[in-house]
Chains A and B, each alone.
Chain A
């Protein structure tokens, strides 16, 4: 049953939403919401604070103060400018939380605290902002992190795209783990935690001018739980992890090949791709290895640990379709080579820019 794409389909229903205390009567963002005065304070107190509430945030000081214990810290930041803001399987709010959580998790850290900054366009509906804050709060709760500080700025109409979000995150490194893009070794098994290309094709299916009917949903998810399960079992045998977001699996593997000075071989027929994603890619002339993911991780693990890691991944709800897709080799350093279904080899280079839909 084909469902008509509806950018708002996955958002909570805020059509009857009303602010607990009316925000001075404005249903949309006005310049004053970023002005540092009463309107801005109301936005924080009545919209963000109720959504994100936690002790560190509640002081509403100039900086959040928190206790993180001892050990090495990891920090990451990312900005989110996705259009549409709500898409099948997720929203900009979930991306903003999960994206930073995942960047910390694949670095071997336990994500703990996030900041959230909003750049809002004048005229942006407050109900949508509330929906975004709500999805962020849910995503943070699922990932087990707290949003403890933030900021709001407003730009004039026409100078933004509704809502941009920046998040930064802090996590505590697991002491036993030593992972990095430069640590992949010849012999390592390459595993991916599930189907590739879901997020990019979900976005494309609802993007203005390119809409097509599909049931493809974004894979947007926080990976820290699944990664923790792997690291708990075989922490020292994981050498590199990455979440293959923009640029897709191909870009991630090329980056690791370059950083580690190794070659990577993958078997094209072993790549997990949903049939509907494959079909949409064929239709549009795109290659799923270059399409973005938001809820997948790639693992480089010692070969003797590969079977166990695969088992752990597949036992996790986010890793059911995990697959071993290839290995690291000392041959063709810094190069990603795929064995095609025909038995021939092809080089998969890093994408130059965006993947461009073909004429025919």
Chain B
């Protein structure tokens, strides 16, 4: 299959892992920013293939995980209103708010629907003129163009009953925040290929320069990731700090100009809260003045939101790369994908869910004989 099996070739993967072993003379800590890459690394066991000193630190790039609790609570409140059709990508439905999730709202009679594209929600608005259709537009730069397109199209079609509950966050400010946080130990970054397919990678050379770190743009298949890691290790060993593109089949330096133009037309940069991390300056997008009347937060004046995070959950430390999921005291005990305490346990891109689902709270030796415990946990 084109573009799929070629990048999952086990033999080539072993060869690349061998090259990384030869290159690495010292321990290095490399962060993959994107949750999709975390998922792929854990699913395919890429981290098990690396030499002991090369540690992958899982970054904050899971949109489901970093969406602020307050916004989830607003989503729950809006979705529960009569006359509202609330549309979302699938994996937002199980993200716990302070009081329940969107599935529970649906169960109580809210009209909550999974769509694959925000444009489907626009069509839904056109077909249901007597309803308010809201799309939950979260994500990084990757999903932003489609969300921007939805309000652009809604305005062009004169739809007064469509709005966007939007929380977009941006990768470069997050890299900046991680690198300037005290106690940071990340020495190189894998930049997320899909973000760069939209934005290009012209934003990264100043970061590589400022913090003296290699940044390698790479994809999501096993060979993409291994190639990215290999290039990062080669740079680290040689003392270089360059921006490299290991995802040339998808990413160009400039990125998708048409998408960037649309983004500039619809969004403006804003300070943004990241769940588990806090506010990062200029790290998000919101609808600009011209499109403000499509902002669901403006349309539905939701007040009286009192958010409450679980005291047991350490997802913030996980998102910053300060701890591994299994080091959280609640991991696999109070917190499982069935009863997630924090968003990192919900989305398959969340580091905690990836660790749990692929049995990563057990060492290979522990796998044998521990089945009962796992099965018990998985079945709650």
Contacts and interface: CB of A to CB of B under 8 A. Distances in A.
B287 interface: no
Contacts of A359: 63-64, 89, 91-92, 138-139, 143, 347, 349
B359 A346 contact: yes
B258 interface: no
A284 interface: yes
Interface stretch (A235-243, A316-324, A337-345): A337-345
Contacts of A334: 371-372, 374-375
Interface size on A, as a range, is 35 or more
A342 B13 contact: yes
Interface in A248-299: 254, 257-258, 263, 269, 275, 278-279, 282, 284-285
Among A258, A269, A356, residue most surrounded by chain B Cβ atoms (within 10 Å) = A356
Contact of A346 (B43, B94, B374): B43
Given A357-B90, A359-B92, A284 B116 contact: yes
B4 interface: yes
Given A335-B375, A342-B10, A356-B93, A282 B222 contact: no
Interface stretch (B305-313, B321-329, B361-369): B361-369
Contacts of B279: none
Interface stretch (A20-28, A33-41, A108-116, A347-355): A347-355
A332 B368 contact: yes
A340 B10 CA distance: 9
B49 interface: yes
Contact of A282 (B4, B142, B372): B4
Nearest to B115: A209
B89 A358 contact: yes
A350 B378 contact: yes
A356 B64 CA distance: 12
Interface string B116-152: 1000100010000000000000111011000000000
Interface in A156-198: none
A357 B64 CA distance: 12
A333 interface: yes
Nearest to B357: A349
Given A332-B368, A357-B114, A359-B143, A346 B358 contact: yes
B113 A285 contact: no
Contact of B348 (A279, A340, A358): A358
B10 A343 contact: yes
B367 A356 contact: no
Contacts of A357: 89-91, 114, 116
A331 interface: yes
A342 B49 contact: yes
Contacts of B13: 341-343
A272 to B, nearest CB: 14
Contacts of B338: 352
B46 interface: yes
Contacts of B375: 254, 257-258, 334-335
Contacts, number: 138
Interface in B75-129: 89-94, 103, 113-116, 120, 124
A210 interface: yes
A332 B371 contact: yes
A331 B368 contact: yes
Contacts of B348: 285, 356, 358
A356 B138 CA distance: 16
Contacts of A349: 356-357, 359, 374, 378
A360 interface: yes
Nearest to B9: A341
Among B8, B48, B116, B379, residue most surrounded by chain A Cβ atoms (within 10 Å) = B116
A269 B48 CA distance: 18
Interface string B1-12: 100100011100
A209 B120 contact: yes
B44 A358 contact: no
Contact of A341 (B10, B113, B142): B10
Given A209-B114, A357-B90, A359-B91, A345 B364 contact: yes
B80 to A, nearest CB: 20
A341 B375 CA distance: 24
A342 B46 CA distance: 8
Contacts of A209: 113-116, 120, 124
A269 B222 CA distance: 14
A344 B378 contact: no
Contact of A360 (B1, B36, B43, B44): B36
B8 A341 contact: yes
Given A210-B116, A357-B91, A360-B140, A347 B374 contact: yes
B337 interface: yes
A352 B372 CA distance: 17
B45 interface: yes
B115 to A, nearest CB: 5
A332 B369 contact: yes
Given A279-B4, A342-B10, A349-B359, A332 B113 contact: no
B14 interface: yes
Interface in A111-156: none
Contact of B45 (A257, A263, A333, A342): A342
Given A360-B36, A360-B194, 8 more contacts: A209-B114, A210-B114, A342-B10, A343-B13, A344-B45, A352-B378, A357-B91, A359-B143
Interface of B: 1, 4, 8-10, 13-14, 36, 42-46, 48-49, 63-64, 89-94, 103, 113-116, 120, 124, 138-140, 142-143, 194, 222, 337-338, 347-349, 356-359, 362, 364, 367-372, 374-375, 378-379
Closest 9 CB pairs of A and B: A344-B45, A347-B359, A357-B90, A335-B371, A356-B90, A334-B371, A334-B375, A333-B371, A359-B89
Interface of A: 209-210, 212, 254, 257-258, 263, 269, 275, 278-279, 282, 284-285, 331-335, 337, 340-347, 349-350, 352-353, 356-360
15 contacts: A279-B1, A285-B91, A335-B370, A341-B9, A343-B45, A345-B367, A347-B362, A349-B374, A350-B379, A356-B93, A357-B114, A359-B92, A359-B139, A360-B63, A360-B194
